[in-house]
Amino acid sequence: MRAGIAGGVASVVVWFCVPALAACGCLSTMSGRRLVRAAWVLRTRGVAAEGRLESFRVISTENGPLTRYVYAYTDARGARRECVGTDTGGAAWVRVLYDPADPDGGSQVGTGTAGMLVFGVVLLLVGGIPVLVGSAGAAVVAVTSAFV
């Protein structure tokens, strides 16, 4: 009789934990996929342009002040665009990498995309896919233990 109560409590605990685990896995998977896609698009069809410092703004964060630099650049069609960077040190000119197919959506200060690509893959392989598989397995265990 005691094993049945313990099994029921374990099933309830699993049912409360599975949605949280699945949500974390979904967020990690979506974020990792977005990073990998953005890095891949910039690597394959990105165009570099010269960006000129337009303005900067200091904002307060939990880790102290953070300076955001706004750079203006001209895309291949001649339209003026803006890109925000935080790790430029306020350089007067920088290289801006942007996607000509989506100039408003995908641009970054600097031409390096390796870090973004690696971080996206790590999110997928460590935080996303294994957590989703684990939460699905825990749900299967909870369902089978409820009917056994």
What pLDDT, in 10s, does the model give residues 6-45?
556 666 777 778 888 888 888 888 988 888 888 888 888 8
Residue 56 is predicted with a pLDDT of 87
Residue 2 is predicted with a pLDDT of 46
The tokens for 43 are 């690597």
Q: What percent of the chain has pLDDT over 70?
A: 89
Nearest to 94 by CA among 103, 102, 85: 85
Q: Is the pLDDT of residue 5 over 60?
A: no
Residue 148 is predicted with a pLDDT of 65
> pLDDT band at 1, cuts 50/70/90?
very low
pLDDT digits 0-9 by tens, 40-54: 888 888 888 888 888
Residue 39 is predicted with a pLDDT of 85
> pLDDT band at 146, cuts 50/70/90?
low
For the chain, the straight-line distance linking the first and the last C-alpha, in angstroms and rounded, comes to: 13
Residue 86 is predicted with a pLDDT of 78
Residue pointed to by tokens 């801006």: 96
pLDDT digits 0-9 by tens, 87-117: 777 788 888 888 888 777 777 777 777 887 8
- Cα four-point dihedral sign 104, 108, 114, 118: negative
The tokens for 107 are 């641009």
Residue 8 is predicted with a pLDDT of 64
Q: What letter does residue 148 receive in the DSSP assignment?
A: -
CA distance 91 to 80: 19
Q: Are 73 and 98 in contact (CB under 8 A)?
A: yes
CA distance 40 to 24: 24
